[in-house]
Amino acid sequence: MRDVAPVPAADTAAAAPAAAAEPTLRQLAARHDLAFGTAVAMAALADDAEYRTWVAAQFDTVTAENEMKWAALEPARGRYEWGPADALVAFAEAHGQRVRGHTLVWHNQNPAWLADVPRDELGAVLKDHVQTTVRRFRGRIWQWDVVNEVFEDDGTLRDTVWLRALGPGYIADAFRWAHEADPDALLFYNDYEVEEVNAKSDGMYDLVRELVRQDVPIHGVGVQGHLTADHAPLTMRENLGRFDALGLRTAVTEADVRMPLPADPVKLQAQANVYRTALDACLRTPGCLSFTVWGYTDRYSWVPGWFEGDGAATILDEDFAPKPAHRALRDGLSSGGRRRRD
């Protein structure tokens, strides 16, 4: 296993300058029994003191952008690289934060060696991966994204290596395996473009309702929230509510709101409105446990490298200056109470 130097502790006494005189996002969210989190780029956490300070001060949950994905954890079969994931968990524990584990079963970012595994061995290999990873962090991960992105836009199951080799039952099996490895972790299904009521979220609803009916240990549904500034998710409250009615928790797991570059005041205000709409849907859903932004500063955002011509998707600019979206989230967390389950 490769040794990784521990991440330096953040100087939490030196609060991020723009927010020094105000309650932090995590403090505001706590008033609603809501966890407010961010995805973390581990290189930035290790090398950028200002980035580290914001992470420690403003957020009470963290998610590894890449370091808990299978390709990162086991680049060669049987050789694990736990160092970066261990470092994030240790950083979180040192700063009173909880960790969302992301992600155990996915069709993407799998190790290259998996392509050489015989089809009849894939079930055992997947089970070993799930349980080895969950046991490594037993008692230290709050929520796991157990199964990620198994649906096409029309609500049918995505054609993946797992579906072809194992059939649709692999989804329920993955939750059972994870629960065996850590009975106290909350286990989520996670997907994108399922924020609103549509064919894809209908497929997701049908799946998780059946899992609940079968007493599969699924505890929640994550809607990622990769949104655009030109469209607010107007049926998101209705959508979250139907999962809530099944007795499941919900979470916004990867929120960002991209726009065509360059940014301008009109686009930035539209972005703020979209963030606020998503937050309000979560706050109005009794079982919505957490709201996580997928990175909080444009300096380290994944969006420009993935969506050509788009960017400026986070709540701070490249110099850590708050944008209107940051104020919109603060205002949303500062207003009123939230609905709670009886």
Tell me the pLDDT of the chain averaged across its residues. Answer: 94
The torsion angle over the Cα atoms of residues 276, 49, 298 and 329, rounded to 10 degrees, is: 10
Interior angle at CA 153, CA 300 and CA 254, nearest 5:
25
Mean pLDDT, rounded, for 205-229: 98
Read off the pLDDT band of 13 (50, 70, 90): very low
Domains of the chain: 17-334 (3.20.20.80)
Region 283-289: what's the mean pLDDT? 97
Mean pLDDT score, 282-286: 97
pTM as predicted? 0.94
Nearest partner of 29 among 234, 336, 333, 339, judged by Cα: 333
Distance CA(80)–CA(57), nearest Å, equals: 31
| 149 included as an active-site residue | yes
Structure tokens at 334: 């500062």
DSSP codes of every residue in 170-238: HHHHHHHHHHHH-TTSEEEEEESS-SSSSHHHHHHHHHHHHHHHTT----EEEE--EEETT---TTHHH
160-198 pLDDT tens trace: 999 999 999 999 999 999 999 999 999 999 999 999 999
Residue-wise pLDDT tens digits, 75-118: 999 999 999 999 999 999 999 999 999 999 999 999 999 999 99
Q: Tens digit of pLDDT for each residue in 236-250?
A: 999 999 999 999 999
User: What percent of the chain lies above the pLDDT cut of 70?
Assistant: 92
* Of the candidates 61, 144, 155, 160, the residue with the CA atom closest to the CA atom of residue 109: 160
Two structure tokens written together for 42: 């581990």
Whole-number percent of the chain with pLDDT over 90 = 91
Q: Which of 65, 67, 74, 149 is catalytic?
A: 149
State residue 115's pLDDT score.
97
Quick one: pLDDT at residue 335? 86
pLDDT greater than 90 at residue 119: yes
- DSSP class of residue 157 equals B
* pLDDT of 34: 98
C-alpha 67/C-alpha 73 separation (Å) is 7
C-beta separation of 278 from 35 below 8 A: no
Quick one: pLDDT band at residue 327, thresholds 50, 70, 90?
Answer: very high
